[in-house]
Chain A
């Protein structure tokens, strides 16, 4: 029984670690991976989603609806942000980096001014169940499923819809896409809004598990960037899945055996080695591998 419990516990940790990385990264996958904007305000967009979900849940709105609302409101905020500021920085990577950093400071400290240093959090929905000596939170199991659904939905949008086609065309060669009648301006705005909305929704999904405070977004920034960069640009969605699974596969056993500190060290070391040895990221090799198989 206890070996079964241990096995389940390892699987559960592997899943939660990967889901955490994926949820932290999904919004950035779109904005950094596709639009190539180093969005340092990513954490604050997640923070905004978490605040929206927390506030409306306290008002009695059911949590799933709150997540949806967080998606919509943060997406709208993202669209406005793109129209007013971000679009002036396409092609200027460093400019975009500095301006998004500025936005993150304004959002974080602005929230501190308006809402104070803390907001009472919402409880984690669902209970727990146990197997042997180990017990597990139902909500994290749900989160693992939701993160898989989100990435699959994103995949579907980009592969199977007209918007996805136009977006891929715009990201590959904007001038050519424009010549073929794609309204690239609109595609950029929608893509940024989608990325922001996803960040907001993921912030809302993680809100019950974290403390709600103005600078809470910071904790997601490093995992998000590591996941996206390790994933690489060849195929950002495949890369995000691959890198979150790979990093979790390193972190989980090492963390379980040697503790959280060594676990974090192992994760960072793995990221370092991958970026050094595979500068194109995991996705480049994953894609080559699948292409070869298809070709053969």
Chain B
């Protein structure tokens, strides 16, 4: 798959770094263009000039200090692990399977289901396991890391440029500009909080920079330059809430961090709870600075819900869990962020997180061989790390996905790589198969319901092997045919208002 750069060009390119980059680059531009051209048609002179010399530069901004460092350090280590593997000639399984979902390279249904032993007359391959067990049948990989046949990307070493965002949005903008304009990175992978993403997205768009946002978030970003590889509300809120309604009862109470993530996720919860027979009886938005929760706890006790949706962000708000447990508030909880990202179940003494449910796409405990192999590789490189969270895994497979897309494009030219990424990729991540939907630049994920028990052990009683990020598709977003650069919010979708109206009619 990889387009090889001729040996002499490689050495030229290396010396070009030391001498004068531009002249050498001009010298090799034609030859490089010749190798890259057949794949993707017309390539302009300027794009050929920008690429193909020296190391492949991955620009990476996360918070290694400040309020969000608990997440940023995990993501940095994920990037370092992925880049080490790429430079050692490794890649994750998977490839473009075309729009339409999982194809030949995914691993579901390795064994056919065992229906029809009695009565139906259908031929049965084997009896594959006890029939009373209802589950998805799939062959489990030992590991998904395989040889790529390419040291680095297209024979070029991969380099990580990773300045510290310090949990400071103004600094994020400055760093994004520096990475794009001075370092001229081939790809930008950055962003934890939605506020950080929205702070740098205009800069990304002005430069037409290829940009990956790897975090779980509230959804709605339709941006031709941005690829969102984390899960969004429709993939987490609906499965989580439907489980809570089924198991504990219809009445939910939401407490959420008071900024765009919390507000929008709460709006999703409010609008979609009625679809699965539930109802949100109370809602409270809590400023990020609040760290003492006795009033919030009393209000929940007053409302007497069946379960609580907790969308709490940052270390101040995490204090809610021990405080609620100490105050004797033992309601089942559901979340889209807690546990999978900030590993509260490891940080707080049991039973603070007892009864926490989260429809996650990844967390360290996912009980598959491929994940155990991934955790082992990680811990070999970073033996002191405490946890591997959801967005760390996303960062890891995203960088591998980028490497694969460059090999397909045969060039690091950003416009060509974007086109290559829009070929309907399935990549075998530690969580399971991930499908990058070309039109919306969002991923379908393997979703599992994680439940935390009294002793803070995690189990996964239910799984949804493939949930699409369908909301942007519903809105008719197709970034290939109609490039856009905005974030949609639920208010723009009349269906949200319709659901809410139905609910008020019923009650």
Contacts and interface: CB of A to CB of B under 8 A. Distances in A.
A214 B64 CA distance: 12
A140 interface: yes
Interface string B302-328: 101000000000011011001101111
Nearest to A15: B294
Interface residues of B, number: 44
A25 to B, nearest CB: 13
A112 B347 contact: no
A139 interface: yes
A124 B351 CA distance: 11
A243 interface: no
A140 B70 CA distance: 28
Contacts of B301: 9, 133-135
A183 interface: no
Given A116-B384, A256-B295, A261-B286, A215 B315 contact: yes
A260 B287 contact: yes
A13 interface: yes
B460 interface: no
Given A216-B315, A261-B285, A20 B328 contact: no
B322 A16 contact: no
A172 interface: no
Nearest to B324: A137
Interface string A102-146: 000000010010001111111110111110011111011000000
B497 interface: no
A213 interface: yes
Contacts of B293: 260
B299 interface: yes
B328 A137 contact: yes
A269 to B, nearest CB: 14
Contacts of B69: 112, 117, 214-215
B404 to A, nearest CB: 31
Given A210-B319, A215-B66, A17 B292 contact: yes
A211 B347 contact: yes
B258 interface: yes
B65 interface: yes
A95 interface: no
B70 A118 contact: yes
B369 interface: no
B349 interface: yes
B298 A134 contact: yes
B289 interface: yes
B35 interface: no
Nearest to B167: A215
A127 B384 CA distance: 33
B315 A124 contact: no
Contacts of A20: 292
Contacts of A219: 289, 291, 315-316
Interface of A: 6, 9-10, 12-13, 16-17, 20, 109, 112, 116-124, 126-130, 133-137, 139-140, 208-216, 218-219, 222, 251-252, 255-256, 259-261, 263-264
24 contacts: A6-B302, A9-B298, A10-B298, A12-B298, A13-B294, A112-B65, A112-B69, A118-B70, A123-B350, A126-B326, A135-B301, A135-B327, A137-B323, A210-B319, A210-B322, A213-B315, A215-B67, A215-B315, A259-B285, A259-B286, A260-B284, A260-B285, A260-B286, A261-B286
Given A10-B298, A255-B295, A260-B290, 14 more contacts: A12-B294, A116-B386, A117-B69, A118-B347, A120-B347, A121-B348, A123-B322, A123-B350, A123-B352, A127-B328, A129-B328, A209-B323, A210-B322, A211-B319
